[in-house]
Amino acid sequence: MKLKVVTHNPGKVREYQEALGEYGIEMEHVNREYAEVQTSYLEEVVDRGLKALSAEGLDDFIIDDSGLFVDALKGFPGVYSAYGQKTIGNGGILRLMEGEEDRAAVFKCCIGCRIGGESVIVTGKCPGVILHSARGDGGFGYDPIFSPDGEHSFAEIPLEEKNVISHRGVALRMLVDELRGRGFI
């Protein structure tokens, strides 16, 4: 089975392929825009995106809205994570966290899947901390400054290990359960 991944981010597509390949699902990267509403909830962005794209006639696709929510920054960058990455970047987040003892953060990933005319929306979370400096050159986005265990950043661990614990990995396993329950895989 083929599922399209509608995103500008090839890093996400790699993670989907790594996790869903074993179920015989082949990912196809579709690099196109969809309307992302301004809201405080990832689920709302995904729900609206699914509806907009299926109204345009698209089927058998996945969209993914993710964010890094930092406790000491009152949840920032959160739903503004893409903007935060483009503007202040990882260096800017580290500067905002200078001298801050509470390093707790949570990565969230909301996946929306439209398949056979049905919609599935699931959200996965991964708690961790913001490191004091960027580490590693794997992964993408905030991976070098986020650590699930306080030691290694996501950018330092292999993709298959990131998928076991990450927000996207957790959401992907929920998606697989849903697709299995509905007889798609």
Catalytic residues: 65
Residues 143-172 that bind ligand ITT (CB under 6 A): 143, 154, 166, 168
Selected from 3, 4, 66, 105, the binder of ligand ITT by CB under 6 A is 66
For strand 61-70 and strand 104-115, is the pairing parallel, antiparallel, or unpaired? Answer: antiparallel
Rounded to a whole number of angstroms, the minimum distance from the CB of residue 181 to ligand ITT is 25
Rounded to a whole number of angstroms, the minimum distance from the CB of residue 57 to ligand ITT is 20
Binding of ligand ITT by 64 (CB under 6 A): yes
Which candidate, 26, 106, 95, places its Cα nearest to that of 62? 26
Q: In a 3-state reduction of DSSP, which class is residue 25?
A: coil
How many C-beta atoms lie closer than 10 Å to residue 43's C-beta? 15
Binding of ligand ITT by 140 (CB under 6 A): yes
DSSP structure class, residue 77 = B
Binding of ligand ITT by 81 (CB under 6 A): yes
Numbers of helices and strands, H then E, in the chain: 6, 6
Q: Where does this chain bind ligand ITT (CB under 6 A)?
A: 7-9, 12, 64-67, 81-82, 85, 139-143, 154, 166, 168
